[in-house]
Amino acid sequence: MADVDTPRGEVPALADLPAEVRDDVARARAEVAALHAELPRWGLVVWTAGNVSARVAVEGGEDLMVIKPSGVSYDELAPELMVVTDLWGRALSEPDASRVLSPSSDTAAHAYVYRHMPDVGGVVHTHSTYAVAWAARGEAVPCALTMMADEFGGEIPVGPFAIIGDDSIGRGIVETLRDHRSPAVLMQNHGPFTIGKDARAAVKAAVMCEEVARTVHVSRQLGEPVPVPDDAVTRLYERYQGVYGQN
């Protein structure tokens, strides 16, 4: 089995990729730029915090990732400013070298998730207030709502404390979610990370994570929430994931 934590070869130049891959990158850049607008719209971020990324699958080659640039205002984000990296967080060179920005400071975490969870197509990180409050306590959000059973298949778990700068956060995300139905994890003292089959699904999970974290917190002010029975959680989850919505 290949070592997924050792970079493979040189970073390709964007211009040297096959035309169909460049087209996929362009589409991913447009989607990721647009999805970033959902984070402030739902009150999940402040200032330049938070990020969305998407995997770009490359048939017969190494997958790529598109992610928000570091420290750029949400009002300024545009498709051409999204950074394209390999799955070790190394930025691809652009035809216009002046356009290459530094990727998000969470790039290593996103990249680690993509390398170790091949079914994940999108990753989101926010600092949404109620989810971060649970993370600050190091406490999972208990499954006390049918909405939680539907979306998360149980509680929203807590991941270990990890400091940004290397793949420690990514390792904690993967270790927590690998055998869990939840697409969200609350990294202790940090905040929520969500995953999905694509970037849009990961953004939806981030929105839902904050909503249920807020609701269960409010419920606790009135008394101890009543948990959804385990067998009902499974039935609700399987129905929502397999039947709900349009085919």
For 142, counting Cβ atoms within 10 Å of its Cβ (0-12 exposed, 13-18 middle, 19+ buried), the class is buried
Catalytic-role residue among 150, 166, 179, 230 = 150
74 is catalytic: no
Amino acid type, 62:
E
Q: If residue 184 lies in a helix (H) or strand (E), which one and from where to where? A: strand 184-187
Catalytic-role residue among 3, 75, 119, 244 = 244
The distance from CA 246 to its chain's CA centroid, rounded to whole angstroms, is 24
Amino acid type, 196:
G
The CA-CA-CA angle for residues 140, 143, 147, to 5°, reads: 125
**Torsion angle, CA of 21/18/90/197, rounded to 10 degrees?**
20
Contact indicator for 109, 173 with CB cutoff of 8 Å:
yes
The distance from CA 114 to its chain's CA centroid, rounded to whole angstroms, is 10
Backbone angles phi, psi at 202, to 5 degrees: -70, -35
Residue 91 β-bridge partners: 85
86 is catalytic: no
Active site residues: 150, 244
